Amino acid sequence: MAEPGTVDIDRSGAVMRVALNRPELRNAMNPEMIAEIRSAFEAAATDDAIRIVVIEGNGPVFCAGGDLNWMRDVFDKSQEEVSAESRELMEMYRAIDGCPKLVIARVHGAVFAGAMGIIASSDIVIAECETRFCVSEVRIGLAPGLIAALLLPRIGPHWLRYLAKSAIVFDADTALKANLVHEIVTGDDELEARVAAHVDLGLQASPDAIAATGRLIHALGGAADEDSFARGLEFNVEARFSGAAQEGISAFLEKRRPAWWPPEDS
């Protein structure tokens, strides 16, 4: 695995911690970070010494989703290039979702857009009580193609319709009700304590049995399948090329109202 730059990797015994490390950009994912997250999980998957992976974020938030400066450059690229970028994102999610180790997401601050796919791919999600969540794609003219493939088995169509079509910002209590998080804690110390408690539980379990249980859940239809990923990939590429996405992303970066907002005096 190449020396990471946008993620920090820390190994302590049987535990690998993967920390998103672009805090000045709210840990927004760009191609480099996507590749490094994928590489970290693929390496953990084949390393018998690693039994648990904790994914977290450095700085004030877990992850604000995709880097919009990267996503705005779509018209300088061919459809094949954009499709390849979207496929890399899909493979990152698959590396987390299919990891045979116990995967714990330690989240705080904000979990927006593409970051929702990370927590939906994790086995255990522990959130600090002030964390805010959002499936925010429609606000910038996108459809949540890939993350919808991951969210749907976890929260069902009822919650996905509400969260993805409204792009509402919601709190940790709502995330708990929607089956997006498993535990809510107060403050960083308690967050770390609960992560440590689940690490201890994970180390008491058979690593082979944890891997087999993950395969069982996938086999029984409890996770995104190949067809869902393929359809999500199509929507992701199509949405990135859309005029709505370019207007929405540009408006966000330029700190102005997108064209579809109602007039200010209405």
Instruction: Give this prediction's pTM.
Output: 0.92
**Can you tell me the distance from the alpha carbon of 23 to that of 92, in angstroms, rounded to the nearest whole number?**
20
Q: What percent of the chain has pLDDT over 90?
A: 72
Reading the block at residue 110, the tokens are 């904000």
Per-residue pLDDT at 71:
75
Residue 258 confidence (pLDDT) above 60? yes
Give tens-digit pLDDT for 199-213.
Answer: 999 999 999 999 999
**Can you tell me the distance from the alpha carbon of 22 to that of 31, in angstroms, rounded to the nearest whole number?**
13
Per-residue pLDDT at 31:
93
Residue 233 confidence (pLDDT) above 90? no
Per-residue pLDDT at 43:
97
Per-residue pLDDT at 1:
44
**Can you tell me the distance from the alpha carbon of 222 to that of 247, in angstroms, rounded to the nearest whole number?**
36
Which one is predicted more confidently, 138 or 266? Answer: 138
Q: How confident is the model at residue 231 (pLDDT cuts 50, 70, 90)?
A: confident
Residue 216 confidence (pLDDT) above 90? yes
List alpha helices for 56-124, DSSP H: 68-72, 79-97, 114-120
Picking from 28-32, 165-169, 191-195, 261-265, which range would have the lowest pLDDT averaged per residue? 261-265
End-to-end CA distance of the chain: 55
Residue 3 confidence (pLDDT) above 60? no
CA distances (Å), origin 66, targets 63, 69, 115, 266: 9, 9, 8, 32
Per-residue pLDDT at 266:
55
**Can you tell me the distance from the alpha carbon of 217 to that of 27, in angstroms, rounded to the nearest whole number?**
30
The alpha carbon dihedral of 170, 55, 142, 162 has a sign of negative
Picking from 69-73, 115-119, 137-141, which range would have the lowest pLDDT averaged per residue? 69-73
- Identify the H or E element spanning 75: none
Per-residue pLDDT at 44:
97
Domains within the chain, CATH numbers bracketed: 7-188+207-253 (3.90.226.10)
Per-residue pLDDT at 204:
97
Tell me which residue has tokens 């996503």: 71
CA distances (Å), origin 11, targets 27, 44, 187, 262: 21, 10, 24, 51
Q: How confident is the model at residue 2 (pLDDT cuts 50, 70, 90)?
A: very low
Per-residue pLDDT at 179:
96
Give tens-digit pLDDT for 63-82.
Answer: 999 988 887 766 677 778 87
